Structure 1
Amino acid sequence: MQDLYDLLGVDRDADGDTIKKAYRRLARQLHPDVNPDPATQEKFKEISHAYEVLSDPQKRAAYDRGGSDIFGGPGFGQGAGFSFTDIMDAFFGGGAPGSTAAGRGPRPRVRRGQDALIRLDVELAEAAFGISREIKVDTAVLCETCNGDGAAPGSKPVTCETCHGAGEVAHVQRSFLGEIRTLRPCAACRGFGTIIPEPCRECSGDGRVRARRSLTVRIPAGVDTGTRVQLAEKGEVGPGGGPAGDLYVEIHVAPHATFTRHNNDLHCTVSVPMTAAALGTSIKIPTLEADLPSEDKSKRETSFQLELKAGTQSGAEHIMHSRGVPGLRGTTRGDLIVTVVVETPTKLDGRQELLMRELAAARDELSPDGTIKPSTPKSVFGRLRDAFNQH
Structure 2
Amino acid sequence: MQMKRIGIAIDSLAGGGAEKIVLTLAAQLKKLGHEPHLLVLMPNCDYQLPDDIPVHFCFSPEQKQIDSLWRLRHSVAQVQQWVEGLIDQFGQFDLFLSNLDKTNLLFTKASITPLYCVIHNSIEEELTRQLKLGPLAYFNMLRAKKALNGQHLVTVSKGIEREIVQSKRVSPASIRTIYNPFDIAQIRARADEENSDIPQGDYLIHVGRVAKQKRHDILFKALAKMRQPLPLVLLCNNPKKALKLAKKHGVADRVICPGFQANPFPWIKQAKLLVLSSDYEGFGNVLLEGLVCNTPVVSTRCPHGPDEILTQGLAQYLVPRRDAVALSQAMDSALMAYPDITHIDMFDRVAIAEITQAYLTLCDVQSESDQSNSLSSSGVL
* TM-score relative to the length of structure 1: 0.19
More helix by share: 2
Structure number with larger C-alpha Rg = 1
* TM-score of the superposed pair, with normalisation by structure 2: 0.20
Name the one with the larger strand percent. Answer: 1
